Structure 1
């Protein structure tokens, strides 16, 4: 399976805790969006906040986009077909095709 992803930086993101949500995803969360309409409307279908040593289960389904609003933590997204991708702090990604994410791990590392 080939997975194409595009990572986007959140311009102007800062460490303030009173930041406005980006695409409906408040700081310091990682949000999942079901499709392009949900992404554009800022209505995430799920969100995660806890730093973990292992992967947390995510209901396996194709995910259109993932937003990481955290300022210092990377996010690993485990793919059902094998492998994972790393999403840097203050970045989002949009999946092309039907990649299925089935796990998430938020790491306190600031680099992938």
Structure 2
């Protein structure tokens, strides 16, 4: 079963889990260096599940995803597929933090190749249930896959 969540859902959940920690961190930054606080807050807001904007991040295992530890990141728009390396091939989860580019993932299952879209600001988990991720193509498609 594939489970996807929009970034707004993830951000809401992340906000609930980390609001106290973030408030303490921003308060500390404000006391130490008032001009650094807006940059720190913007940086934290741009990261989803440990994946910074504007990347498509791969998490090799569910543990990597739970720890918010991407094992590979891609950001180049390409005309064709890029082959995935050992830190992304066969990943458990993929996060697309890009705001106007979709990520098309090439999958292989039982010798058959198919493509799956991870849309703008989206998360795809349980990828391995659909097949083995073997390639990525980031495409400029503001209307979605």
> Aligned match of 1:8 in 5, 14, 18?
5
**Superposition TM-score, scaled by structure 1 size:** 0.84
Paired residues of 1:68 and 1:75 also in contact (CA < 8 A): yes
Alignment check: 8 A CA contact 1:52 1:106 kept: yes
**SS of residue paired to 1:37:** helix
1:39 and 2:71 aligned: no
Tell whether 2:105 aligns with 1:108.
no
Residue-by-residue CA offset, 1:20-48 (whole Å, 9 max, x unaligned): 31111000000000111110111111000
Q: Which runs of 5+ in 2 are unaligned?
A: 12-41
Write 1 or 2 for the structure with the bigger share of strand: 1
Match of 1:58 among 80, 84, 104: 84
Kindly indicate which of the two structures has a greater share of residues assigned to helix: 2
Q: d(CA) in 2 for partners of 1:26 and 1:88?
A: 16
Larger radius of gyration: 2
| TM-score (norm. length: structure 2) | 0.66
Q: Return the match for 1:99 from 131, 134, 143.
A: 131
Unaligned runs of 5+ in 1: none
Given the superposition, is the C-alpha separation of residues 56 and 96 from structure 1 closer, same or farther in structure 2, using an over 3 Å criterion?
Answer: closer
What value does the CA root-mean-square deviation take over the aligned residues? 2.0
- Cα offset for 1:7? 1.9
2:91–2:128: 8 Å Cα contact kept in structure 1? no
* Greater relative contact order (CA < 8 Å, ≥ 6 in sequence): 1
- 8 Å CA contact 1:62–1:98 kept in 2: the answer is no
